[in-house]
Structure 1
């Protein structure tokens, strides 16, 4: 097949056929340890969080539903008084450092003014209240996290790039030679600039530590993460601070520090797979004028350690239906592993934020001599099933709603939601990502071997 040099983008008329974006509560409550999440919506949303991510079982102390009843919907009750009653109880019972309101489809339909109510209650209670819209009308699955982090960005302290002494005096007035901007941005005089890097994206602490270590090996220290483990430890943002994302679904979080806080965005591929992690670190190093060392050897070593998985998937084909906005990064990683990606369905595509990832995808296809996959934004699921029927991929990565129908059509599937909750970032976690990909393929292989063995036994009888 001919390798396409330039990616082609299509947009169909499908809606967001994805998991509900309020699912972000399931992983954000674990990351922000002193927070309390209040989901504002109907009982249906509570049932979803209880049955799907299981949040009520594990996070009961820091999660609650502000249930909208008929009186709320018909405007017979005062929204502010009802939310005040719940938040007062939260403060008395839990006393969190921050209360995060998650707006659902219900709040959008009845036009509930959460942004107007929050400042009044925040002043009254003395607890920060962050409002994040995570309704399925406007957002895809993982964009719930994007809205929470973008809202939290406004609460980050201001970064002061002009140092002061113990008396509060501006040191720059006395030591201009040490702190004044220089044409040599990365010279010895400005060496402290290397620490002004904030990474954004919610990852387990162990994975975040791995990425911190990867950058520290190259003499680039991470000054903070958004979100931080404690709300009271949010990183300082402002002019002179560089921000870099670890997930492709955080486009709103990427633009907010630039527009509101004058930060500079590091446009890098995302650290998924050994290839993506290396490209991510190289881009950060280039911004800070650091020459990376040992990355190629480290990447090659990890690829050698993945040889058992690569034998299973090399030459296999995969089809992404589109669900969690990780599709481009995962497709690039699987092409580097030797797979053929027929189509990448994605609910929403910010080409500026994912520009570096798309460029790496293009280079990966050329390097591996694989065709450039078709990229379809807001795909129509019916049309996708028809295309899969014609292409007959070995594996389909899809939302849970379509897994069983595809399995009935003899197409192996993997739930895309599993990649959202699994630890797949960084070079070390590439095995976990490939474990998810190869499991259905190995299951089919074992099934075929079992049938052959049974037929031999039957023939012997």
Structure 2
């Protein structure tokens, strides 16, 4: 017999109704400052990236397109020579520290051997080439970042097992290790730095600094981030390193770091919302045998700051159609805020990687006395629309393609892609996450007040 505390998992036959995963270039090229991206695909992919990047196209972002023609598709041309020509031009124009090839659906269909070509060109031009296949045949929207970071995991230097004793404040200051030619990892003061904790996931520098500071308050050292802002500052990985993700769509990166680099994964909920951030920090502290200090007070303080938003969402219902793989974490956070989540659609979910998040979701539903949402992997959108018609949720968080049709059915919507680009991680940014959620609810409330006011004026007349 099913209970409210036990998740109900279902899998439908729907396709990935999401953005193309090559859109990860839009935020990764800004995060890895000395990188250059080459997207290998048709003109359609180029048009899509221009739209995804928006006006920044006029700022000449560090990416280029290699567009196969009919001759390439029929295997009549030499792929290696053409890619070599583009690579030499990129090196001449940009002189990047690393070149990242993004393989699209086209490269999959014509079986282009990017992994075989890359080492040869890397040796010729003297610039590292990382191959990441981010095609929409196999991956959902945000999994493009996952494939890119998993590929970069192989390029991280080996952790030096020799650790010297040094003061804790020195360890905390050396957030990113510098790599010299002898592969020794030196801190900012010339001392061998600890290689014991690495965080992975692409976040804005300000958000990454906030999370570093939260861990520093608990005396937990952070050796570095994947990705790093500079390619030659990639964190060291090895058997003595604990790795922990900040996003639920990075399961491939987590698996690669464990299987290929022998790292130890910290299975924690993700730092989204005050509850998730506290659980994330507590889990990391437990790994390092550190007793958390002041986290409960810190979380309660943030909930007090969010009180005005909580008044808007308490008692409201929400339906996730599934797009960016942040759905489980966002659903857990919104339930903690007092909302009812009818269904959580998600394109793909690694239950092992999200095990801690699912457990926290169960505890949150029990604590808030809310029903456990239905979790649907690869949802069929037609069936979802029928279910929404029956449930009549106050809000639907969906991809852009379905927003207007749902609005026409009088269902308020919020684009899920906005949560990908917004700053929603950590204690401080919980307010920004709720700002996105409450905006359509407040808009409807203001509209209703306006209508009632107009009716009153008519009666007075």
Post-superposition CA distance 1:233-261 (Å, at most 9, x none): 00000010000000000000001111111
- In structure 1, stretches of 5+ residues that fail to align are 166-191
Is residue 248–residue 326 contact of structure 2 (8 Å, CA) maintained in 1? yes
Specify the alignment match of 1:455 in structure 2: 455
How does the TM-score come out when normalised to structure 2?
0.92
Is residue 314–residue 338 contact of structure 1 (8 Å, CA) maintained in 2? yes
CA separation of 1:61 and 1:436: change in aligned 2, threshold 3 A = closer
Does structure 1 residue 237 correspond to structure 2 residue 233? no
Shift of 1:117: 0.4
Shift of 1:362: 0.3
Specify the alignment match of 1:249 in structure 2: 249
Specify the alignment match of 1:303 in structure 2: 303
Q: Bigger shift: 61-70 or 318-327?
A: 61-70
Specify the alignment match of 1:186 in structure 2: none
The whole-number CA distance in structure 1 between the counterparts of 2:67 and 2:457 is 60
Specify the alignment match of 1:170 in structure 2: none
Shift of 1:309: 0.1
Tell me the secondary structure at the aligned position of residue 53 of structure 1. Answer: helix
Specify the alignment match of 2:210 in structure 1: 210
Is residue 215–residue 221 contact of structure 2 (8 Å, CA) maintained in 1? yes
Specify the alignment match of 1:351 in structure 2: 351
Does structure 1 residue 127 correspond to structure 2 residue 117? no
Shift of 1:195: 5.7
Is residue 56–residue 63 contact of structure 1 (8 Å, CA) maintained in 2? no
Deviating beyond 6 angstroms after TM superposition, the runs of 4 or more aligned structure 1 residues are none
The whole-number CA distance in structure 1 between the counterparts of 2:58 and 2:270 is 30
Shift of 1:455: 1.4
Specify the alignment match of 2:174 in structure 1: none
CA separation of 1:55 and 1:65: change in aligned 2, threshold 3 A = farther
Is residue 318–residue 342 contact of structure 1 (8 Å, CA) maintained in 2? yes
The whole-number CA distance in structure 1 between the counterparts of 2:56 and 2:154 is 28
Post-superposition CA distance 1:328-355 (Å, at most 9, x none): 0000000000000000000001000000
- In structure 2, stretches of 5+ residues that fail to align are 166-191
The whole-number CA distance in structure 1 between the counterparts of 2:53 and 2:327 is 21
Specify the alignment match of 1:173 in structure 2: none
The whole-number CA distance in structure 1 between the counterparts of 2:277 and 2:382 is 35
Specify the alignment match of 2:82 in structure 1: 82
The whole-number CA distance in structure 2 between the counterparts of 1:262 and 1:292 is 27
Shift of 1:6: 1.2
The whole-number CA distance in structure 2 between the counterparts of 1:247 and 1:350 is 12
Shift of 1:162: 3.0
> How do 1:35-114 residues align onto structure 2 when only pairs under 5 Å count?
35-54=35-54, 57=57, 60-114=60-114
Specify the alignment match of 2:7 in structure 1: 7
The whole-number CA distance in structure 1 between the counterparts of 2:269 and 2:425 is 12
Tell me the secondary structure at the aligned position of residue 243 of structure 2. Answer: strand
Is residue 199–residue 244 contact of structure 1 (8 Å, CA) maintained in 2? yes
Tell me the secondary structure at the aligned position of residue 54 of structure 1. Answer: helix
The whole-number CA distance in structure 1 between the counterparts of 2:44 and 2:344 is 31
Shift of 1:459: 2.0
> How do 1:354-369 residues align onto structure 2 when only pairs under 5 Å count?
354-369=354-369
Post-superposition CA distance 1:292-336 (Å, at most 9, x none): 010000100100000000000000000000000000000000000
Is residue 195–residue 240 contact of structure 2 (8 Å, CA) maintained in 1? no
Is residue 49–residue 55 contact of structure 1 (8 Å, CA) maintained in 2? no
Specify the alignment match of 1:169 in structure 2: none
The whole-number CA distance in structure 2 between the counterparts of 1:108 and 1:142 is 19
Tell me the secondary structure at the aligned position of residue 53 of structure 2. Answer: coil
Please report the RMSD computed on the Cα atoms of aligned residues, expressed in angstroms.
1.5
Shift of 1:52: 2.7
